């Protein structure tokens, strides 16, 4: 049984640049099978398979597709957009897929477009991903030459064009409605919802926006079926997932593993454990905008609902570890500086609240903070919590702050009572203490 569908081509020479090699390894078989199915049946298959969005939210992919208007009275023009912006701190899984197996993404987008009746699709890719963008552009050319894209695909009435659009930058472009505005040539700010993109998205037409890894699951799910896909997972969540680890581990990287793989196995077995002389202090389970988990959570499975019940989010599934000789205040400051810089400025709590949080954290990290600053920081997290902002950027930025204030409370207090960062003398690196 195929257990590594997402990465089975990775590591083979020239697969990324050769459609013939990709097709020899069962490439585009899922697309051929999907084209013989009714579009509604594809949507139901993906829904029944339990594929949840791999970009962070974890929403059922087939259910998301089902919200697109279908039938004779629906708009004729529809769009599929691949969110390949990947600017979440600590995330690098989508880059791996696009650089090493671009045809898998193209195939997933083709099936998605056919299922919802879209004739145009866009890959909205992070501007710094030059190699990935060039390989995707080459893959699109090859797919057209093999009649997998273009007009009258498989001698049918279905046609599809895919375009690569390089982002001009900004983390907010990863939010799907801000992405739509950027793609339309407007300022990248989030839109009010409803209407949701599935009803009124790109240029007001029905649009599905899916993450790279999500779309790369589609060809294998269609080709091999629901039961096979569900059996890949170890728990409630179906399929496999690319999990990553960064930080001071012996073997940082990314690995395709079953959904539900325990955190301990990912860190200790695949990432090789902590570097010599260091102990694990805490971790961000799914990127820089998730709540810290402690060492008490190491045996939890990486499962959307389980991690949610533990007080965090699985997010992108890319783990950032915090060791006992790295200052948690400095780490949180570094993240908050990033989020403050990347705010689109559309709403006051994010535009003004995040820079304020940076100033408070800078005072604490430099030894000039007070106990009042700790209370003020807690209050600030409440003011930018979900429901108080236009999109999820600021609430996500608050998650590592609020959880660090709980898990690493004594570290924050020590900064205040000692009048300095106690990690300066023991850290192997100099913590970031000044706003760039």
402 vs 378: CA distance, rounded Å: 7
* CATH code linked to domain 240-323: 3.10.20.600
Using CB atoms within 10 Å of the CB of residue 392, give its burial: 0 to 12 exposed, 13 to 18 middle, 19+ buried.
Answer: middle
Can you give the pLDDT at residue 71? 85
Determine contact, residues 56/70, Cβ cutoff 8 Å: no
Can you give the pLDDT at residue 140? 97
The per-residue pLDDT for range 177-230, each reduced to its tens digit, is: 999 999 999 999 999 999 999 999 999 999 999 999 999 999 999 999 999 999
Can you give the pLDDT at residue 12? 65
Domain parsing of the chain, residue ranges: 15-232, 240-323, 328-418
Can you give the pLDDT at residue 404? 98
123 vs 433: CA distance, rounded Å: 37
The parts of the chain modelled with pLDDT lower than 70 are 12-17, 425-436
Can you give the pLDDT at residue 168? 87
CATH number 3.40.50.11540 given to 15-232: yes
The token pair that represents 329 in the structure block: 């205040």
Task: Decide the pairing of beta strands 280-284 and 318-323.
Answer: antiparallel
Q: With residue 318 as reference, give the H or E element that holds it.
A: strand 318-323
Can you give the pLDDT at residue 306? 96
Can you give the pLDDT at residue 435? 35
Can you give the pLDDT at residue 425? 60
CATH number 3.40.50.300 given to 328-418: no
Can you give the pLDDT at residue 431? 42
């Amino acid at each position: 049984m195929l257990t590594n569908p997402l990465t089975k081509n990775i590591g083979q020479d020239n697969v990324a640049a050769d459609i013939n090699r990709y097709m020899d390894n069962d490439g585009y078989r899922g697309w051929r099978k999907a084209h013989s199915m009714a579009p509604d049946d594809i949507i139901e298959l993906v829904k029944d398979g339990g594929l949840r969005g791999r970009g962070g939210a974890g929403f059922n992919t087939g259910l998301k597709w089902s919200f697109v208007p279908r039938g004779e009275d629906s708009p004729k023009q529809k769009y599929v957009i691949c969110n390949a912006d990947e600017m979440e701190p600590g995330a690098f899984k989508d880059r791996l897929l696009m650089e090493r197996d671009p045809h898998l993404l193209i195939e997933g987008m083709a099936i998605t477009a056919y299922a919802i009746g879209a004739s145009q699709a866009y890959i909205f890719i992070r501007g710094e991903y030059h190699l990935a963008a060039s390989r995707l552009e080459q893959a699109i050319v090859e797919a057209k030459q093999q009649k997998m894209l273009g007009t009258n695909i498989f001698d049918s009435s279905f046609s599809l064009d895919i375009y690569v659009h390089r982002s001009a930058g900004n983390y907010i472009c990863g939010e799907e409605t801000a992405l739509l505005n950027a793609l339309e040539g407007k300022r990248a700010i989030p839109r009010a919802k409803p209407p949701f993109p599935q009803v009124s998205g790109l240029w007001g037409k029905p649009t599905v926006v899916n993450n790279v890894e999500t779309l790369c699951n589609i060809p294998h799910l269609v080709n091999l079926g629901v039961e096979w896909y569900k059996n890949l997972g170890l728990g409630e969540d179906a399929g496999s997932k690319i999990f990553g680890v960064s930080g001071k581990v012996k073997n940082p990287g990314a690995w395709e593993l079953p959904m539900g793989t325990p955190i301990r196995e990912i860190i200790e077995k695949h990432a090789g454990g902590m570097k010599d002389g260091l102990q694990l202090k805490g971790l961000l389970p799914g990127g820089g905008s998730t709540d810290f988990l402690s060492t008490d959570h190491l045996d939890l499975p990486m499962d959307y609902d389980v991690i949610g019940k533990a007080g965090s989010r699985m997010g992108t599934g890319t783990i950032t570890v915090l060791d006992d000789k790295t200052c948690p205040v400095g780490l949180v400051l570094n993240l908050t500086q990033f989020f403050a810089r990347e705010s689109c400025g559309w709403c006051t709590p994010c535009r003004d609240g995040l820079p304020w949080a940076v100033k408070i954290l800078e005072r604490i990290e430099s030894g000039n903070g007070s106990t009042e600053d700790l209370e003020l920081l807690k209050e600030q997290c409440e003011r930018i919590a979900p429901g108080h902002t236009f999109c999820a950027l600021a609430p996500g930025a608050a998650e590592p702050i609020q959880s660090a204030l709980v898990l690493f409370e004594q570290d924050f207090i020590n900064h205040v009572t000692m009048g300095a960062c106690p990690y300066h003398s023991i850290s192997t690196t100099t913590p970031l203490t000044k706003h760039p």
